[in-house]
């Protein structure tokens, strides 16, 4: 199950005793507090706490820039200006703390984003649950032939069944041995810090992850992208939905300028200008490599 009975009891207790506050709150985010949003087969994302909202971003920007922002007539326009011109510090005024349950191999991708505060469940002190991520049959795919870190054609039939059987059987066997090694039935068990190394990478772990909005949006730009690995992308998608309710102006600008926008090199921009003038621009006369040209064509359609 995504939440343990103890975690659910804690959440129910907290939700049953709301408190008044004088601090700024975001109505959309208040609805997410203590709610566990399911992800994958056993995972979840839930908001523990947050600070700031769209107003915190514009407040910080106006303190920093003073008279220079008076030409901006509204908060949404200012936020779009800040996003468009790659300002960062105003967005750092907002923070969010998430409780995430995720497979270890996803956590190892996630931790590459080093601009957050993380405290992970420790298998040195506690025993990990018998919970493993097993992909849905539709999410099984062969190695891509054009992308060394991507997926290709979907596996089907007997091949898919064989892979799923291996994943289930290997995870179960490793956990059985893990339990046997830490058991003190009749003799002293192996130290948990050693026994954990036998666990597979699809076993679930948990952590608290606290990050400011600027770095959160960078995480989402990479991990909610269509090219990101599916298993981390679904977590990013869940966080996108939360962020959209938390800071709607900032998230709308993020969708427009980061997720939906594109950055062109000076060479690519020159090609666009030549095309607008009616020139026949090809890869051979563009000044781009084949890979650059392919990506350029993907951007301009």
d(CA 99, CA 21): 22
- As annotated, the active-site residues are 223
d(CA 154, CA 138): 7
Closest of 25, 76, 13 to residue 53, by C-alpha: 25
Cα-based torsion angle of the residue sequence 145, 151, 154, 159 in order, rounded to the nearest 10 degrees: 80
């Amino acid at each position: 199950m995504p939440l343990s009975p103890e975690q659910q009891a804690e959440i129910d207790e907290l939700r049953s005793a709301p408190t008044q506050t004088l601090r700024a709150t975001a109505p959309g985010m208040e609805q997410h507090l203590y709610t566990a949003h399911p992800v994958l087969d056993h995972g979840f994302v839930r908001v523990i706490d947050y600070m700031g909202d769209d107003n915190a971003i514009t407040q910080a920007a106006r303190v920093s820039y003073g008279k220079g922002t008076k030409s901006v007539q509204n908060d949404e326009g200012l936020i779009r200006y800040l996003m468009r011109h790659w300002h960062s510090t105003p967005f750092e005024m907002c923070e969010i703390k998430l409780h995430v349950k995720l497979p270890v191999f996803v956590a190892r991708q996630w931790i590459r984003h080093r601009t957050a505060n993380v405290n992970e469940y420790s298998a040195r002190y506690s025993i990990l649950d018998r919970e493993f991520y097993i992909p849905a049959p539709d999410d099984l795919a062969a190695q891509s032939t054009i992308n060394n870190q991507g997926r290709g054609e979907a596996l089907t039939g007997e091949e898919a069944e064989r892979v799923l059987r291996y994943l289930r059987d290997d995870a179960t066997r490793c956990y059985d041995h893990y339990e046997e090694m830490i058991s003190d039935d009749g003799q002293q068990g192996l130290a948990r810090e050693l026994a954990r190394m036998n666990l597979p990478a699809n076993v679930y772990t948990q952590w608290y992850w606290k990050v400011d909005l600027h770095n959160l949006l960078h995480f989402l730009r990479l991990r909610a992208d269509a090219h990101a690995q599916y298993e981390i992308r679904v977590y990013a998608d869940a966080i996108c939905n939360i962020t959209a309710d938390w800071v709607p102006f900032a998230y709308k600008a993020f969708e427009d300028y980061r997720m939906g926008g594109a950055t062109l090199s000076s060479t690519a921009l020159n090609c666009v200008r030549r095309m607008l003038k009616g020139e026949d621009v090809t890869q051979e006369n563009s000044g781009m490599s084949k890979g650059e040209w392919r990506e350029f064509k993907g951007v301009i359609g």
